[in-house]
């Protein structure tokens, strides 16, 4: 048993070494400009040995993206934990996305590329475990937003005429769309005195206002910020 456990640890470590090598190359050169040959060379493995761990470049890229998603999940959990009311929890999802994009830009770009349409994610049977986890995280976020809004309507925090499903989808789309913002738009905002941090806070406040009974001011979101101070 000890020998089997040691070999499993060695395989796990080798897999991590491969992901480290791939991550370095993907982040520095982009997915399309990296080959499996180059990854094998970087990690000092033969190409057949590399394929023993990952069936293709896509599955290896998904493993890199899933590293970032695990970080994203932890940030989301932290922001939600620090938000005590339904209203603030709505904004917390957007703040979590903003933190992830700002603190882990390489993982954020890889995450955007995963959802860019570059990969066929339609056949669940052909997807790697990492790809399935990434997709599940996205679905989980929508379920969380939907549940927050639904509960807020039931306890009177939010307007009774708010549609929790439509609001959840719209808030999710706003949140995931921010990373796609072109550099020219960012520059345009900055020339008018608006930083990306301010923009993220305004987006969170907008999400908050969508379902509230009345406008309660930007202080609601800003006062509910976590210690991340994004």
Q: pLDDT value at position 222?
A: 44
pLDDT above 70: percentage of residues in the chain? 90
Q: Can you give the pLDDT at residue 204?
A: 67
pLDDT for residue 214: 53
Q: How far is CA 218 from CA 6, 76, 190, 198, in A?
A: 55, 21, 20, 11
3-state secondary structure of 162: coil
Q: Scan for tokens 């940030």, then name that residue.
A: 75
**DSSP 8-state assignment for residue 32:** G
pLDDT tens, position by position, 196-221: 777 877 776 776 677 776 544 444 44
| Average pLDDT rounded to a whole number, residues 9-35 | 95
Tell me which residue of 209, 227, 230, 229 sits closest to 218, measured CA to CA: 209
Residue 225 confidence (pLDDT) above 60? no
SS3 6: helix
pLDDT at 1: 61
Comparing 214 with 109, which gets the higher pLDDT?
A: 109
pLDDT at position 106: 96
Q: What is the mean pLDDT of residues 9-16?
A: 91
Confidence of residue 21 (pLDDT cuts 50, 70, 90): very high
pLDDT of residue 83: 84
Look over the chain and give the mean of its residue pLDDT values, rounded to a whole number: 85
Tell the residue number behind the tokens 């979590």, with chain if given: 96
Give the confidence band of 88 by pLDDT, cuts at 50, 70, 90.
confident
- Beta bridge pairs of residue 158: 212
Name the nearest CA neighbour of 200 among 220, 179, 224, 170. 179
The answer to whether 125 touches 59, Cβ cutoff 8 Å, is no
Q: What per-residue confidence (pLDDT) applies to 211?
A: 77
Q: What is the pLDDT of residue 45?
A: 93
The pTM score is 0.80
Task: Give the distance from CA 168 to its chain's centroid.
Answer: 16
Q: What is the pLDDT of residues 129-161, one digit of tens each?
A: 999 999 999 999 889 988 988 988 888 888 888
Partners of residue 212 on adjacent β-strands: 158
Per-residue pLDDT, 125: 86
For residue 181, the model assigns a pLDDT of 76
Q: What is the DSSP letter of 158?
A: B
Q: How far apart are CA 39 and CA 78, in angstroms?
A: 34
- Of 115-119, 178-182, 183-187, 226-230, the poorest mean pLDDT is in 226-230
Distance CA 61, CA 24 (A): 11
- Provide the phi-psi class of 45: left if phi over 0, else alpha when psi is between -120 and 50, else beta: beta
The stretch 69-89 carries a mean pLDDT of 88
Write the DSSP assignment of 177-221 as a string of letters. Answer: HGGG--HHHHHHHHHTT--HHHHHHHHHHHHHHHHBSS---THHH
């Amino acid at each position: 048993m000890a020998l089997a456990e040691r070999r499993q640890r060695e395989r796990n470590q080798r897999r991590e070494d491969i992901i480290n090598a791939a991550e370095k190359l993907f982040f520095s050169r982009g997915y399309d400009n990296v080959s499996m040959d180059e990854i094998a060379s970087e990690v000092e493995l033969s190409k057949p040995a590399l394929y023993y761990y990952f069936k293709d470049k896509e599955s290896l890229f998904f493993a890199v993206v899933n590293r970032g998603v695990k970080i994203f999940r932890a940030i989301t959990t932290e922001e939600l934990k620090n938000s005590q009311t339904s209203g603030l929890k709505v904004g917390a999802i957007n703040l979590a996305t903003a933190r992830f994009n700002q603190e882990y830009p390489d993982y954020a770009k890889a995450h955007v590329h995963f959802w860019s349409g570059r990969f066929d994610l339609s056949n669940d049977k052909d997807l790697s475990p990492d790809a399935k986890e990434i997709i599940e995280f996205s679905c989980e976020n929508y379920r969380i937003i939907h549940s927050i809004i639904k509960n807020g309507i039931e306890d009177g925090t939010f307007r009774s005429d708010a549609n929790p499903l439509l609001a959840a989808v719209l808030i999710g789309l706003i949140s995931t769309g921010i990373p796609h913002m072109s550099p020219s738009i960012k520059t345009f905002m900055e020339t008018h005195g608006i930083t990306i941090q301010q923009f993220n806070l305004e987006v969170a406040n907008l999400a908050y206002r969508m379902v509230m009974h009345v406008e309660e001011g930007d202080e609601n979101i800003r006062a509910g910020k976590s210690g991340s101070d994004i």
